[in-house]
């Protein structure tokens, strides 16, 4: 396995179909760009269709790209998007759960979930469950879920107050959401393994310079430009772990890709370890059951 993996090692994706959430900007756009350049049919699944069309135009006239409206903060929108994709796509080879929100003031989704948990985890949980039948028949298909080093920061699955109704801590709420992403990826792999066709793999970008920081506390936004050169990397570099998880022929279900540098902040993508609690199978299974109940989406596996 190459320790200096770059986008040049992404094999041809011709004939493959990739659906990427939040693909109009940042990590999602940079992932879409490389996959389109390698010949994949790419679906930009985005909340703002106009911005999605602008992103598709930036990918060039030769790219095989379409735009699908998807608001992960609305289960109605998730179901509508899944129905549309069943109509327009014969299969899915890659589902990349990338979109997310970080550190907003407390808000709720249309379904009443805390925004970070509802968007980052529950929206992707529901979308994956509704699209999985398009992946399962496809040998070598993958679900790539984008996590974060924030899954280690004041993070836990607070089953007694998943929606942060009693008190709200934006940093801890983001940590919960990204820990949930990882636990979902691991539990999904356990359920997919008997089928032998589809793998669930997680990835994180390190600290990438994207628009995700826009909701950070004011003090953090003020300091960030000063310290950014010391521990961040470009969005293009941040997309490499996602691309490796999605395309490296040696990648295995249940693996977690991230930057190789100290703290996982930046560096070439490689297999990394997540926090000890992220591997807790009992919590993974409980989170899965709660997520099925909250979204009313049942998976065709497990």
Catalytic status, residue 257: no
DSSP 203-250: E---SB-SGGGGGS-HHHHHHHHHHHHHH-B-HHHHTHHHHHHHH-TT
Which bin fits 95, alpha (ψ -120 to 50), beta or left (φ > 0)? beta
Looking at 174, 186, 256, 257, which residue is catalytic? 174
Distance CA(133)–CA(8), nearest Å, equals 31
CA angle 142, 145, 149 (to 5 degrees): 140
Q: Which of 177, 147, 184 is nearest to 301 (CA)?
A: 184
Coil, strand or helix at 155: coil
Would you say 297 and 126 are in contact if contact means Cβ atoms under 8 Å apart? yes
> For the chain, what's the residue count?
302
Active site residues: 174
């Amino acid at each position: 396995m190459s320790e200096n993996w770059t986008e040049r090692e992404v094999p041809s994706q011709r004939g493959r179909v990739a659906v990427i959430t939040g693909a109009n900007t940042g990590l999602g756009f940079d992932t879409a760009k490389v996959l389109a350049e390698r010949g994949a049919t790419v679906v930009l699944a985005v909340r703002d269709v106009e911005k999605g069309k602008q992103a598709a135009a930036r990918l060039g006239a030769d790219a095989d790209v379409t735009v699908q409206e998807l608001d992960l903060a609305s289960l109605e929108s998730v179901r509508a998007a899944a129905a549309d994709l069943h109509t327009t796509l014969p299969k899915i080879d890659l589902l990349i759960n990338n979109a997310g929100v970080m550190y907003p003031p407390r808000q709720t989704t249309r379904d009443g979930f805390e925004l970070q948990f509802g968007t980052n985890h529950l929206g992707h949980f529901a979308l994956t469950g509704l699209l999985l039948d398009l992946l399962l028949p496809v040998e070598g298909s993958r679900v790539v879920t984008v996590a974060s080093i924030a899954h280690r920061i004041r993070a836990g699955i607070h089953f007694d107050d998943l929606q942060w109704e009693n008190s709200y801590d934006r940093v801890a709420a983001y940590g919960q959401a990204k820990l949930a992403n990882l636990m979902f990826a691991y539990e999904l792999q356990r359920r997919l393994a008997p089928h032998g066709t589809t793998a669930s793999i997680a990835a994180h970008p390190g600290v990438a310079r994207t628009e995700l920081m826009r909701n950070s506390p004011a003090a953090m936004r003020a300091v960030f430009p000063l310290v950014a050169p010391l521990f961040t990397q470009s969005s293009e570099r941040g997309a490499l772990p996602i691309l490796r998880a999605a395309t490296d022929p040696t990648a295995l279900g249940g693996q977690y890709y991230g930057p190789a540098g100290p703290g996982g902040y930046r560096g070439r993508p490689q297999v990394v370890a997540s926090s000890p609690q992220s591997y807790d199978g009992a919590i993974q299974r409980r989170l899965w059951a709660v997520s099925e109940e909250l979204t009313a989406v049942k998976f065709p596996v497990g």
